[in-house]
Amino acid sequence: GENVEQHPSTLSVQEGDSAVIKCTYSDSASNYFPWYKQELGKRPQLIIDIRSNVGEKKDQRIAVTLNKTAKHFSLHITETQPEDSAVYFCAASRYRTSIQGAQKLVFGQGTRLTINP
């Protein structure tokens, strides 16, 4: 089955600097890669996702890149702010273009990001 490895487990950056979190996956059939942000005691929130037919996707200060050949994808946060401090999870799955059924997400181990003022 799919296995997702996430690094680093903790990351501390100065406010305004960039943060990069990397994930690798094992199943070459995976084609959907979401990133979730989870604040302490709260639900994971989807912040960005990418499908395998795209190499990069950007949404304001957040971007995700995907290298299908190497089977890794990364989250990039620029101009970091204190409210970016949280735990970030990457995930991988095979999505279906069908309402019936859904493929499960396999999560990475998480990265605790701390933004220092």
Partner 1 sequence: GAVVSQHPSWVICKSGTSVKIECRSLDFQATTMFWYRQFPKQSLMLMATSNEGSKATYEQGVEKDKFLINHASLTLSTLTVTSAHPEDSSFYICSAKAWVEATDTQYFGPGTRLTVL
Write out the residues near partner 1 by the rule CB under 8 A. Answer: 32, 34, 36, 41-46, 49, 51, 89, 93, 95-97, 99-110, 112
Closest approach of partner 1 to the CB of residue 87, in Å: 8
Nearest to 71 by CA among 117, 36, 106, 38: 106
Closest approach of partner 1 to the CB of residue 112, in Å: 8
Closest approach of partner 1 to the CB of residue 8, in Å: 14
Please identify, using beta-carbon distances, which residue of 79 and 102 lies nearer to partner 1: 102
* Contact predicate 99/82, CB 8 Å: no
Please identify, using beta-carbon distances, which residue of 19 and 37 lies nearer to partner 1: 37
Closest approach of partner 1 to the CB of residue 108, in Å: 7
Write the CA distances from 116 to 16, 36, 89, integer angstroms: 9, 21, 20
Please identify, using beta-carbon distances, which residue of 8 and 16 lies nearer to partner 1: 8
* Contact predicate 2/96, CB 8 Å: no
- Spatial distance between the Cα atoms of 109 and 117, rounded to a whole number of angstroms: 26
